[in-house]
Structure 1
Amino acid sequence: MVDTTSAPAGPTLLLITSFFPFESGEEFIEGEIGRLAAEFSEVLIAPLSYRSGMTQTRDLPANVGVLRIPPGHRSGSDAADAIRFAVRHPWRALRSLSRAVADGGLRPSRTWANLQFDLLSSLLASELAQLLPEGFLRSQDAVIYSYWMHTQARTAVELRGLIRRPKIPLVTRGHGGDIYTEAHRSGFLPQRARIAAAMARIYPVSRNGADYLRRRFPSARNRISPRRLGVAAAHNPGNPQQAAQLVITCSWVRPLKRLDLFVDALALAQQSFPQARWVHFGGGPAEAMAALHDLATEQLAPGSFEFAGALTNSELRARYGAQPATVFVNVSETEGVPVSIMEALAQGLPVIATDVGGSAELIDADAGMFDGLLPARPSARIVADRLETLLSSPPERFADYVSASLTHWQSEWSSETNYTAFARELASLPRGSADTGITTNAPAAAPRPDVAAPALPHCSVVIPCYNGEQTLPRQLDALLRQDPKVVREIIVADNMSTDGTKDVVASYAARDPRVKYHHSDRGQGPVFAQNDGVRASTQPFVMLCGADDEVQPGWAEGFAAEFRAGAKIVGCTIVRTAENGETLEEISQLSDASWPGYLTLGGGQAGFARHVFDELDGLDESFAGAAEDVDFFWRAQLAGYGISFAPDARFNYYSRPTGSEVLAQRRGWGRSRAQLYAKYRSLGMPRRSRFLAIPMIPWCLLRLALAGTNEHRRTQALAGLGTNIGVLEGSLKYRCWYL
């Protein structure tokens, strides 16, 4: 029974692992589990590879329980288990077969691998569903977290469907072998796309892994973001000694670790540094260990090497603290983000490592660390040269390398920092609609742990502008009346204007240095000006507004209040206004009418944290006509950001003064709506209708004829006509049926 008497109020977490907390492996979870327990009311661990007789080797917090698959339900063979499941559940096996054929294509080996993988995941999900407590089965207030993007993640997908809780968000980490297909002889990992499509978040442990997955699964790219692992502070940190000439390696002994290459390199280095010694930590198959020992005996100076064997993590850290070393070396041919290097950095050791997987993220020569990054496939001579360079460096330079390694660990790879932020992020995940975890009309986004709102948010205002000579002064006057402690700069991004826009901006810049001119000439359209303007901004928060609109008093303060409360994206009130100042309509709420569950937010009414813009790579410039803002904020919601609303932030949106301008604007909107549908239909955006535009065009023409001289009715008819013509044009252009 899990003790929840002192647990925090909040959701329940189901953590799906391989073995943890049994046997060895998955050591990173040791540092993470306490942080998870502090943020969730209850944590349930499901080790899918558990077998009867395994020993629990890790202590757990009081509110953490373990779900053990009963003895006898698993054999020693995954293939045998899959076949047994198929015999017991033929209909589910047929569904697995259909998925396997769809994913495997015409390659029988891949179809079989997919089938076995699908059946095994279905079996594990069935067994796990029987072990879940009744409270978990009744609640939607939970998160399912897979530690690996493999069987564990596929089981999570199957389990959620089995217990019929589609609103529970699924998240998965990704490490090395569960990300990179090249790490496998077959060059294949089963059901990647199915896993990626179902996850609300995919958290590779390195930037390299995130970039790799984004290339493989572009439709999921906005749900993929790296979240680093970490290690605890070392025993006796900062103790490395250059004079010791002691080289450390730490790994399981197998071919891809290329320890034979290291032995060749050390043999070369010993020609210049005969006192250089080597200690290897880690075990391996007896035959492989014997072969490595024989090679070292043949190549290295007598008595200059030691095989310390497999140690527990605490034993290894104690040994590092007690025996000062000089350098840590890893020449593996493939990696995720190696914990062994993190442990070395925490000790202060300079590192020499091949540029594979996420290893490059662990070595930052620009920050003063020793430049030990090797090519992915180095020769023994190249490795030896790096060793010799370090061993011959001036003592004061070596001391700087030690200090830089410690600093890099503290800032990037500390378990306390990384796991606390990660646990809080998981606990704050929106638990809303199926798969995406998006909450409809959420009042505010949960604060992201990586960027905190300042006490008084400093904001940049970006105005995309084309030929704004006549209307821009009205907007600039209004902005300069806002609180200057909030509005720190006003950037006018001039999109190749042909009138006096530049002179207008220059005259205002002469009066107030916060007004800045930025020339945007990469392409014609507001999306280019918005991207260029935001990228030129210098403040942590950005607010967009139109050159032909006018913000009202208190507009900036309204946004600032939401940012101060932790919001990352904020919308405001639109006051549709005639050129004579008459209020036509006030829009004081956001809508999800175009795509239920996803709020539509226009750029002219929006503000956001700059890091959100950077995380999403800015606005999609394929939306050169319109809807680039709608697309951006939908992508933000798919990435897990909520949208807050600032009712006291108001601006006047001036209606187009002529019928031709209204018609042109709405045609652009209609085309862009079809473009949005072409992009998001696979994620569930509904079709507008099958034939609505076709009868609406003549209906709007009739309304226009009947409107006579009534300007308001004429404008409404032209707006409807333009929208439906644009939808028809866009459906043809983007090859979709959004009529």
Structure 2
Amino acid sequence: MNLILLTIGYPHPKRDVFVGNEIDFLCKAFDTIYILPVQAGKILPKKLKNGDKYKPHEKVKVWDVEYTIKDVLFISPRLIGLAIKEAFKAVFQKSTIRYKILYLWMIFRWIFLTSITLKNLSKLFEKEGIDPKDTVLYSYWFHFLAFAISLFKKPVALKISRAHGSDLYRELYPQPCKEFIINRIDKVFTCSKMGADYINKKYNTDKAVVSYLGTFNDYEINLNKKRSKPFKIVSCARVVSVKRVEKIIDGLEKITDYEISWIHIGDGDLFGNIKNYADEKLSKKENISYNFLGFMPNDRITELYAKENFNLFVNTSSSEGLPVSIMEAMSFGIPVVATDVGGVREIVKDGSNGYLLEKDFSADRLSSLIKRFIEMPEIEYQRFCIEARKTWEEKFNAQKAYEEFVNTVIKLAQSKKGAGLKHGK
């Protein structure tokens, strides 16, 4: 059986980096993995080339996304009709003018992104001679990529999608065509229980199930480690508005009586602005040192965690699915302070392996929790470390998480194929 995986860039560098965690498991279960990396531009997808040079496994083949002016101009009447229907829904729904405009803009982009994804998908089947009935279509995101596989007409073995956060909750971002997608794919795997409950209730379905993402950790972990001096804080997130890295800076600015070293991993559109903000707020504080490391490959992040005795991980996002970055930190026994958004409370147990911040927390609140970890007795701090590692081992160990996911997908495909044979299809 084959699998076609639609991503927003993986395996190209810096694109969907966490997809790589499950590739080896998929390769064990499928004969060939075809990756279609469709990274969205402002309107049209970016033409990602030479993807095969980044492929992570001999069973993997990477498709170079291609399109011509003809492909851009010719959009199927069905897709245009669905877009118009969705646009009317956006105009007449009860929401703010800003939300309606964002909804209409997203629908406009989706027409082109989905159309070109579908055309590349069809070309992939044709060029590679892929048997649709022996192929699973898998979208890593529950957005225009999932829309494309829901519209794909060939009778494939199974259509599935993952769902995270920004591609899931209407309250965060407009979610065009979700009822259409759900009605035409077989299963949605959410990265949190909250996400699965949300989909099943919102769209009156039972197709959403929880499938936690996971991380690897083969390092020897010392859970009896003592806190360092200075106290070492690490954060790992894209430097974009939703991640609110500036709030970490605001919290650290409030601390005057303890020495702290803070490292941030990740880059993004606001990287320069955030560095300047940190210089403005923290450069004159003798008790605070900080360093922005920018983008780092996943293996280098884990190497850094193994080498450095980080005492606390901080996440200040305004919205999340269930962050893999927190899983990675906990796998090293690092306690966490994070905002109580999305599925975060499914991994951060308040007062056990970390502490939860309310979404609109104050700088004083963050600084008080950081100081709580600095001031607590060593035995209490070690309990937090032990519980962090235990949480990872029980729920977010990639070996368990991805084996269960792949086994579920194979069983679903075989079950659907068997049902089709019974009905003479």
Q: Does 1:279 align with 2:269?
A: no
Match of 1:375 in 2: 358
Residue identity opposite 1:179 in structure 2 = L
Separation of aligned partners in 2, 1:139 and 1:54: 25
Counterpart selection for 2:349 from 364, 377, 392: 364
Structure 2 unaligned runs (5+)?
40-45, 92-99
Residue identity opposite 2:389 in structure 1 = L
Q: Does 1:66 align with 2:83?
A: no
Q: Does the aligned pair in 1 maintain the 2:234–2:312 contact within 8 Å? A: yes
Structure 1 unaligned runs (5+)?
1-10, 75-80, 443-595, 598-739
Counterpart selection for 1:312 from 265, 290, 297: 297
Q: Does 1:263 align with 2:249?
A: yes
Residue identity opposite 1:172 in structure 2 = S
Partner SS for 1:171: strand
Partner SS for 2:419: coil
Counterpart selection for 1:237 from 221, 236, 244: 221
Residue identity opposite 1:128 in structure 2 = L
Partner SS for 1:183: coil
Residue identity opposite 1:264 in structure 2 = D
Q: Does 1:246 align with 2:232?
A: yes
Q: Does 1:117 align with 2:114?
A: no
Superposition map of 1:389-400 within 5 A: 389-400=372-383
Separation of aligned partners in 1, 2:219 and 2:47: 34
Query: 1:309-340 deviations in whole A, cap 9, x for unaligned?
Result: 22221121111111101110111111111111
Partner SS for 1:305: strand
- State the identity as a percent: 23
Deviation, 1:353, is: 0.4
Q: Does the aligned pair in 1 maintain the 2:234–2:262 contact within 8 Å? A: yes
Q: CA 1:139–1:308 in structure 2 vs 1: closer, same or farther (change >3 Å)? A: closer
Separation of aligned partners in 1, 2:111 and 2:338: 37
TM-score between both structures, scaled by the size of structure 2: 0.87
Separation of aligned partners in 2, 1:54 and 1:139: 25
Match of 2:177 in 1: 191
Counterpart selection for 1:439 from 400, 404, 419: 419
Separation of aligned partners in 1, 2:121 and 2:286: 54
Residue identity opposite 1:356 in structure 2 = V
Deviation, 1:294, is: 2.3
Match of 1:481 in 2: none
Match of 1:171 in 2: 160
Q: Does 1:126 align with 2:109?
A: no
Match of 2:335 in 1: 350
Separation of aligned partners in 2, 1:145 and 1:382: 41
Q: Does 1:388 align with 2:371?
A: yes
Partner SS for 1:265: helix
Separation of aligned partners in 2, 1:414 and 1:377: 31
Deviation, 1:291, is: 2.6
Query: 1:452-475 deviations in whole A, cap 9, x for unaligned?
Result: xxxxxxxxxxxxxxxxxxxxxxxx
Q: Does the aligned pair in 1 maintain the 2:200–2:207 contact within 8 Å? A: no
Separation of aligned partners in 2, 1:206 and 1:216: 15
Q: Does 1:294 align with 2:279?
A: yes
Superposition map of 1:634-653 within 5 A: none
Query: 1:604-642 deviations in whole A, cap 9, x for unaligned?
Result: xxxxxxxxxxxxxxxxxxxxxxxxxxxxxxxxxxxxxxx
Residue identity opposite 1:207 in structure 2 = K
Q: Does the aligned pair in 1 maintain the 2:2–2:136 contact within 8 Å? A: yes
Separation of aligned partners in 2, 1:354 and 1:132: 43
Separation of aligned partners in 2, 1:426 and 1:136: 23
Residue identity opposite 2:164 in structure 1 = H
Residue identity opposite 2:35 in structure 1 = I
Residue identity opposite 1:277 in structure 2 = S
Deviation, 1:262, is: 1.7
Q: Does the aligned pair in 1 maintain the 2:235–2:313 contact within 8 Å? A: yes
Match of 1:227 in 2: 211
Counterpart selection for 1:40 from 17, 30, 40: 30
Q: Does the aligned pair in 2 maintain the 1:247–1:279 contact within 8 Å? A: yes
Separation of aligned partners in 1, 2:308 and 2:226: 10
Q: Does the aligned pair in 1 maintain the 2:337–2:369 contact within 8 Å? A: yes
Residue identity opposite 1:48 in structure 2 = V
Question: Higher Cα Rg: structure 1 or 2?
Answer: 1
Q: Does the aligned pair in 2 maintain the 1:171–1:202 contact within 8 Å? A: yes
Q: CA 1:52–1:337 in structure 2 vs 1: closer, same or farther (change >3 Å)? A: closer
Match of 2:95 in 1: none
Q: Does the aligned pair in 2 maintain the 1:100–1:111 contact within 8 Å? A: no
Superposition map of 1:614-629 within 5 A: none
Deviation, 1:391, is: 1.3
Q: Does the aligned pair in 1 maintain the 2:136–2:413 contact within 8 Å? A: no
Residue identity opposite 2:139 in structure 1 = S
Q: Does the aligned pair in 1 maintain the 2:55–2:62 contact within 8 Å? A: no
Query: 1:54-107 deviations in whole A, cap 9, x for unaligned?
Result: 66674422222122224xx26xxxxxx7xx546335xx2x32222122222262
Partner SS for 1:352: strand
Deviation, 1:267, is: 2.5
Q: CA 1:168–1:347 in structure 2 vs 1: closer, same or farther (change >3 Å)? A: same
Larger relative contact order (CA 8 Å, sep ≥ 6): 2
Superposition map of 1:565-580 within 5 A: none
Separation of aligned partners in 2, 1:17 and 1:356: 25
Residue identity opposite 1:173 in structure 2 = R
Superposition map of 1:517-528 within 5 A: none
Counterpart selection for 2:138 from 132, 138, 145: 145
Partner SS for 1:129: helix
TM-score between both structures, scaled by the size of structure 1: 0.51
Match of 1:101 in 2: 84
